[in-house]
Structure 1
Amino acid sequence: MDTSMLLLLCLLLTGLQCQQLSVFQPSRLEVVEGATVHLPCVFNTTQSKQRYVGTPVWKRSSSAAPSVFEDRTLKARLSKADDEDFASKGDASLYLSNVRETDSDVYYCEVEVVSAGKASGNGTTLLIKSKHRNHRSRMKRSGVKIRAATTD
């Protein structure tokens, strides 16, 4: 069933204007440990130019997992887009500071908007690269010889 038929059916059945909610996030991001990463998440509805009322929820590993703000290892390093950006721009982005290799995972953005329902993005695979491995790799490319430390 196409979108216009679905909206018409919804309108006829409920007597309310129904909206379709869409959530977009990048499929993959790579950053070096210690950095702050911006996990973009934007959404829109089929009704144009409105102020959104609702909530974003970010989850890790699975779209069925609890909110990342409940994770003790992440909570203190997390922040989200401000409420005004959510309401006016459809921005539900997440920021994670001082990233660690153990933060590598798939992060799901879920948005619930009043009158439009709930929808989730397809997930962003976050890959955190070690500073040390990256440094060694640059040294190799520049021709610097790297020797392993030995003990006598």
Structure 2
Amino acid sequence: MLGRTYDDQVCSAARALEVVGERWTLLIVRDVLLGIVRFDGLLASLGIARNVLSDRLSGLVEHGVLERVAYQQHPPRYEYRPTAAGRELALVVIALMQWGDRNVPSPEGPPRTALHTTCGGELVACLVCPDCGGPARAGEVATRWNRA
């Protein structure tokens, strides 16, 4: 049986899942990246329990994925803005979204498409080799251990 943490795993993916692997977390990140940055907006968008949202937001702030920024003093109110680490998760969210469109499709088609703001083209999440500039397709990826 899988434990509640991945402490005994020597794996970067497992460490990342400690931060973003809970079922609501990437949906919260998705919404923040879409511009829903206030607690009440996230609550309405996600249909999540207040205490769960509060807990997940605290964890994302603690791990440096989001930052909590005051937008009102009396009473104190905050927005949750993505940090550089949080913005990097856009690739993960888009890749997961596109995987879902291909492998768990909706009969109505994809509900959202990622667009390049510069030219309006439809973005495709993919791995690119920095040496040759070519895309790495399924079956063209290998890993190696970096520890002896």
Q: Which has the higher contact order (CA 8 A, sep 6+)?
A: 1
Fold in common (TM above 0.5):
no
TM-score category, normalised to shorter length:
under 0.3
Please identify which structure carries the higher strand content: 1
Q: TM-score, normalised by structure 2?
A: 0.25
Q: TM-score, normalised by structure 1?
A: 0.25
Over alpha carbons, which structure has the higher Rg? 1
